[in-house]
Each structure stands twice: as C-alpha cells, then as structure tokens.
Chain A
Amino acid sequence: MRTTLVITLLLPAAALALTPDEILQKMDDTMTFKTRVGEASLTVERAGQASETRSLKIWGRGWDDSFSIFQSPARDKGIKYLKLQKSLYMYLPRTEKVVTISGHLLRQSIMDSDFSYEDMLESRALLADYNVKVTGEETLGGEKCWVLDLTAKREGVSYHRRKIWVMQKNFVPLKVERYAESGLLLKVLTYEKVVAFGARHFPTRMVMQDRLRKGSRSVFQLDNLQFDVPVPDAMFSRRNLMKGN
C-alpha cells in the first residue's frame, strides 16, 4: 500500500490520467490528417562524401495513402511513388514502367537514404501490432516526454521493439528507436522543428539514422505544408501513376 502510494506520488498527473495505449493513440491522432500537401527535400549525408539532396512534391490522404513526385536532380525527375494502404508502387519515367515494391524489395533504401520502403509503408496503427508500456519520463531537447516501450505481439513486424519519446504537452513524438529481436538498435528517427498548424502541432524535419550504415544519416525536410485542403482522389489512382506528370 505504502509502495503504491510512493509510485503514485512520483508519477506526473498526466500519466495518471492516461494509459500507455491512450498516449499512443493520442500520438497517432496528432500525426494523422485528413489530407496533406507540401514540398519536401531528402538529403543523404554520408561520412567522407558530398551530401546529396533531392526535392519532391508530396500529397497525403489520411495516414495510409500518399503520392510523391521527385523534382530534382534531373536524373530522378519524374520518379513517382504511390502508396495505397499497404501497397507501394514506383513509376520510372525513363522506361515508363511501374514496379510494385513488395517482398525483399521492401528492405531496400529509398533513394540511397537511411529510410527504407518498409519504413515508408509503416502503419500508424501501432496498437494492433505492439504491446505498450510507459517506462519512464525523460527530458529531450528541453521537452518533457513519456518514454514508451513497444514490444511486438507477433512475428513478422518490421521491428521487434520500439522506444518512443512522446512530448507530454502536445503528443508529438520526438524520437523513435527501432530494435531487432536480438536487441540490436537498427534505426533512430528524430523528429525536429515542430511547427503549429492551427491547433495541430507537426514535426517538419525528420532525421533517420540507419545504424547499420556507418557515418550516414538522412534528413527529410517538409516545406510549405498545408493540412486538410482538398486533394483530388485521382491523385491516388494506380492508372494515373503511369500517366504524365
């Protein structure tokens, strides 16, 4: 009884009010949108090499559907990605072919970056795949965060375990560590530059480090973001993917 009282006094009021599942759900709600339109840049930095930046335009519908077109450099111009739920398609303008990305292709990196196609296909519905618990609180970049520990409920999920740092004030994630079943840290994703879009807070810069690629990191920078604006359904058409830009 005394022990329970001590633990209860030590935990913050917010944690007492929310279960781990609820924190995760609120984080998902924060990161989910009806539609999203914007521009982005993907910069790959590798030790000892010149960094390489690609620019693209992006459209999103909910969490699971997205469409993007690369704008530069010239050799990548016109490459398109269409993500519909759990399916991912890539259009190659040079050969006018569509490649359905599945199976072992999912492990490949996107444009030689630290992000993989598997990362791109991640569902926000983490609760379905993971058991969640709060392991503590930490301050990250001056922000008070809950530290969530997620362990896979079943075989076959991309990462066996995840640790997520979620800001207590607005439920925006600041950092995600992804582990293999052996306990090896595979990837670290850091969310930066959290910007307010009306009542919504959203990170506009994501830095991914694939720990298996030494001296490498990739920065995904979002610009000119607009949320919940009209986006035509035709944007997410498989047939339209093969048509001109």
Chain B
Amino acid sequence: MFLVRYALRNLLRHRIRTALTMLAVALAVGLVLVGATFLAGLGENVMTEFTRITGHVRLRHAEYERESRFAPLDYTVSHWREKREQLLGLPGVKRVQARLSFQVLLQYTDESTIVPESAGIPEDKLTDEQIYGRQVIEFAPALGIEPEGERVSNQLDRKLVRGGWYSSETASEMLIGVELARRLGVSPGDKLLLLSMRKGVADALLTVMGVFDTGNKMQNRFCYVPIGAAEQLLQLQDEASELLVFGDSYKDADRLRETLASSPVVSGLEMMKWNEIGIFRLITTIFTFIMSLMLSAIVIVASVGLLNTMLMTVLERQREIGVLLAMGLSRGRVVGVFILEALLFGIAGCVIGGALGVAGSLYLVNNGVTLGADAVRNLPMAVNQTIYGVLTPMSVAFSVGIGLVVAVLGALWPALRASSIQPIEAMRKQ
C-alpha cells in the first residue's frame, strides 16, 4: 500500500513530467491504433475488390486454368443456369454469378464521312471512308455478365462515369471501360459492331449504354455484354467460363468450399477459394507481408519514442533511487515503485491514447482517406481511391497492450540498472 501511495504522490508532485510521459504513451497508443485501423481498412478494401472478381469460391472447367490466358471457350461450365439454381439451394450460398470471358473485335463506324450514292460521284473517286464510313477497330477483352447480379456483386454501376446502366437483362446493350471508349472514340448511345471469329464469323450490333472507370488502366479496356448476347455471338448454348459463388463474407470461404464440395453439382469442376487463385494468391501473400511490415514500422516508431521518454524519466531520478536505497528500501521494492508508476501513467495514457485513437479511427471509418487517382491507376487490379478504416476490438487491445508493455519495459530496465549500484554512487549522479 505504501508503494502505491508513494507512486501516486510522485506522479502528482511532478505533474509536468507525468503529463508528458502520459502524453508519450497516449500518442504511441493512438498512432498504433489509427495505423492498424487504416491498414485493416486497406486490407479489407483489397480483399473485397479481389473477391468481386473471383467470388468467394470460383467454379471452372477442370481444364480451363491451363489455357486461361487465351480465354478458352472449349472448356466451359455447361448448363450453368440449372447449376446455379441448384447451388443457390445449398446452405451458406448467397449469390451465384456466371461470367463468360472472351476476346472480341469491336468496330465503331462513324457514318458522317459517307458520301451518298445520290451525290453521283464515281466510286473510283471515293475512299473507303467515303463509302463505308470511318471505321475504328479494336480487339478487347470482354466479359459476358448477368447485369443485375453484376451490379450487386461488382458494383459496376457505381463506376459509371458517363451514360447509364442496362435497360434490361437481355437488351442488346453494353458497358465499356473509359480507356476502350477513348480508343474507339465512342460515347453512350453509339452502336458498336462486335465480331467473333470463333467457328466462322458471328456479329452483333450493341448500343453503348455506359462508360465506366474502375481507376485501373487494364480493367478500363474491358467491355461487358449481357451473357445471353455473348453466348449467341460465340455460338455457345448455356455455357459460362466460370461460376462465382458468394457466401456471407470472403472470410467464410473455407466453410463455403466444404459445403460446395459435398454437392454433386460441382462434380468435374475445379473449385478454388479466392485466396488460392494464381495471381491473387501471390498478391495476397505479398500484400499481407507488406501490411505486416508497415504495422511493425508503426509499432517500432511509436515504441522507440515512448521508450526514450521512459528512459529519461527514470534515469533523471537516480539520486532519488540512491536515497530510497540508503533509507533501507530493498532493490526489488525500488524497482516495484517505478513499475507501479509506469503502470499508473501507462493505464492513464492508454485510456487517453485509446480514446484519441478510437476518435481518429472512427474518422477513418466514416470519411476514409483518398489516395488519389494516380496512386491506384496502374495497380494490377481495381482498388477504391478512398480507403475506409476498419476498427476492431482486436486493434484496440493490440494498441493498448503495446502502450502498456513498452511503458513498463521502458521503466524496468533503467530502474534495474539504477538500483544495482551503491546508494552513495546513485546519490552523486546528477
């Protein structure tokens, strides 16, 4: 009890020192908490964007992956409409999304250059542009989608920067990325000729409904067409490249996979969780490593600052330690006093720092941090420009724990060192 009273008296007697030390603890705790909230938000953002593309579990033909870079149409999930209904009947399955990946040739014809036959100009005096119009041709990666499902899972509608959404699920309409629109020189309302050279020549005329900007250059070269129109163009019947299965959260992918594995519907199909998928697995591993490094850096910076303050606080009191030892206080009790003091202002600092950190984190949760278009444009996948924080009880416990442990360790070592010398020597120290 004496030690507690002594420690409290010390804290109150040197109010400025106590306040500064508490501030150091509070800042360290606050910094770690806000940093952890931001990084958790960044991680959540990236994983969520990943799983918009991959689903929580992805189903494909077993041979598809081998030639996936060619978007092979010989290895498809057949009868996908029936399979989807069966999958939706399984527990834990919230949504099933079909996609059909293919390469397509797009032609935009600007007919304003056409000279009408009634003008009476001989054909040999006319250029191709004057007869057929100015043609702009681009090869592009395309995705056959179910518009409404894609709006829910991919939130593509939020990325539209011009025009609007499909008028119906089966309309002859398409959405194109802003980069592809720039190359073709088209705007919403223009018609594009889609040409497939698969099994001969097949063509379709689709109206550009909207232009989207995912913030990512690669994905802005894509175009999205209703899957029915894509199947018709590619001369496929009820075939999709993949079925994306969504549960409640990407964190439940293990359970979802187990459920699917027990169903005969997936027989013969390759089943992969989002974090097992090629490039995503690699990116996830690298990203997790970088996140750990960043969190470690924050913890180290905060800890070193706090440790420095603690060392100064204890070392400047060596004369006091000498007096306590000379008065007959045991070394253990002397160290105990300093540990107790550290715990007291550590707890107070953690409360203040925790409150500050929670306030800062809540700001991040509600308002986010905008990284800017240039920062995310050239990433290999789409990432939201605004990163919203994710505040978890674990982050609060972690930052408070760091504050307390560093405060106590910061007091322990100099107290042990100061109490190990002779009282007379300790009293001589300035």
Between B109, B117, B201, the greatest number of chain A beta carbons within 10 A of the residue's beta carbon is seen for B201
A14 at interface, CB cutoff 8 A: no
- Specify which chain A residues have a CB less than 8 angstroms from the CB of B198 in the assembled complex: 112
- Separation in Å of the B67 CB from the closest CB of chain A? 13
- Specify which chain A residues have a CB less than 8 angstroms from the CB of B135 in the assembled complex: 99-100
* B105–A92 touching, CB < 8 Å: no
**A–B pairs, 29, beta carbons within 8 Å:** A52-B199, A75-B200, A75-B202, A87-B128, A94-B203, A94-B204, A95-B193, A95-B205, A97-B107, A98-B132, A99-B107, A99-B135, A99-B137, A99-B193, A99-B195, A100-B128, A100-B132, A103-B137, A105-B105, A109-B197, A112-B197, A112-B198, A112-B199, A238-B123, A238-B128, A238-B131, A239-B117, A239-B123, A239-B131
User: Residue on B with the closest CB to A98?
Assistant: B132
* B109–A97 touching, CB < 8 Å: yes
* A97–B205 touching, CB < 8 Å: yes
> How far apart sit A104 and B202, CA to CA, in the bound complex (Å)?
18
* B107–A237 touching, CB < 8 Å: no
Known: A75-B200, A112-B200, A238-B126. 6 other contacts (CB 8 A): A89-B132, A99-B135, A99-B137, A112-B198, A238-B132, A239-B117
A90 at interface, CB cutoff 8 A: yes
> How far apart sit A54 and B200, CA to CA, in the bound complex (Å)?
10
User: Residue on A with the closest CB to B107?
Assistant: A99
User: Residue on B with the closest CB to A242?
Assistant: B132
- Specify which chain B residues have a CB less than 8 angstroms from the CB of A54 in the assembled complex: 200
* CB contact list, A66-90 vs B, under 8 A: 75-76, 79, 87, 89-90
* CB contact list, B178-194 vs A, under 8 A: 193
- Separation in Å of the A132 CB from the closest CB of chain B? 34
Between B105, B126, B139, B195, the greatest number of chain A beta carbons within 10 A of the residue's beta carbon is seen for B195
A111 at interface, CB cutoff 8 A: yes
- Specify which chain A residues have a CB less than 8 angstroms from the CB of B126 in the assembled complex: 238
A139 at interface, CB cutoff 8 A: no
* B201–A111 touching, CB < 8 Å: yes
Using CB atoms and an 8 Å cutoff, list the residues of chain B in contact with chain A: 105, 107, 109, 117, 123, 126, 128, 131-132, 135, 137, 139, 193, 195, 197-205, 235
- Specify which chain B residues have a CB less than 8 angstroms from the CB of A75 in the assembled complex: 200, 202, 235
- Specify which chain A residues have a CB less than 8 angstroms from the CB of B200 in the assembled complex: 54, 75-76, 111-112
User: Residue on A with the closest CB to B199?
Assistant: A112
A51 at interface, CB cutoff 8 A: no
- Specify which chain B residues have a CB less than 8 angstroms from the CB of A89 in the assembled complex: 128, 132
The contact of B201 among A52, A90, A98, A100, by CB within 8 Å, is: A90
User: Residue on A with the closest CB to B202?
Assistant: A75
* CB contact list, A231-245 vs B, under 8 A: 237-239, 242
> How far apart sit A27 and B346, CA to CA, in the bound complex (Å)?
97
* CB contact list, A41-76 vs B, under 8 A: 52, 54, 75-76
A108 at interface, CB cutoff 8 A: yes
- Separation in Å of the B231 CB from the closest CB of chain A? 14
Closest CB pairs A-B (n = 5): A95-B205, A92-B203, A111-B200, A98-B132, A95-B203
**Contact A79/B201 with A104-B139, A238-B128 known, Cβ cut-off 8 Å:** yes
User: Residue on A with the closest CB to B195?
Assistant: A99
* A95–B128 touching, CB < 8 Å: no
> How far apart sit A98 and B123, CA to CA, in the bound complex (Å)?
16
> How far apart sit A153 and B105, CA to CA, in the bound complex (Å)?
33
> How far apart sit A242 and B133, CA to CA, in the bound complex (Å)?
12
* CB contact list, A203-245 vs B, under 8 A: 237-239, 242
User: Residue on A with the closest CB to B197?
Assistant: A108
> How far apart sit A103 and B135, CA to CA, in the bound complex (Å)?
13
- Separation in Å of the B131 CB from the closest CB of chain A? 5
- Specify which chain A residues have a CB less than 8 angstroms from the CB of B132 in the assembled complex: 89, 98, 100, 238, 242
> How far apart sit A29 and B126, CA to CA, in the bound complex (Å)?
32
* A92–B139 touching, CB < 8 Å: no
- Specify which chain B residues have a CB less than 8 angstroms from the CB of A100 in the assembled complex: 128, 132, 135
- Specify which chain B residues have a CB less than 8 angstroms from the CB of A237 in the assembled complex: 123
> How far apart sit A239 and B116, CA to CA, in the bound complex (Å)?
10
- Separation in Å of the B208 CB from the closest CB of chain A? 15
> How far apart sit A111 and B128, CA to CA, in the bound complex (Å)?
24
**Contact A105/B117 with A237-B123, A238-B123 known, Cβ cut-off 8 Å:** no
> How far apart sit A104 and B132, CA to CA, in the bound complex (Å)?
20
> How far apart sit A112 and B117, CA to CA, in the bound complex (Å)?
35
- Specify which chain A residues have a CB less than 8 angstroms from the CB of B105 in the assembled complex: 105
- Separation in Å of the A11 CB from the closest CB of chain B? 47
- Specify which chain A residues have a CB less than 8 angstroms from the CB of B205 in the assembled complex: 95, 97
- Separation in Å of the A116 CB from the closest CB of chain B? 10
> How far apart sit A237 and B123, CA to CA, in the bound complex (Å)?
8
> How far apart sit A95 and B172, CA to CA, in the bound complex (Å)?
12
- Separation in Å of the A56 CB from the closest CB of chain B? 12
- Separation in Å of the B323 CB from the closest CB of chain A? 88
User: Residue on B with the closest CB to A243?
Assistant: B117
- Specify which chain A residues have a CB less than 8 angstroms from the CB of B195 in the assembled complex: 92, 99
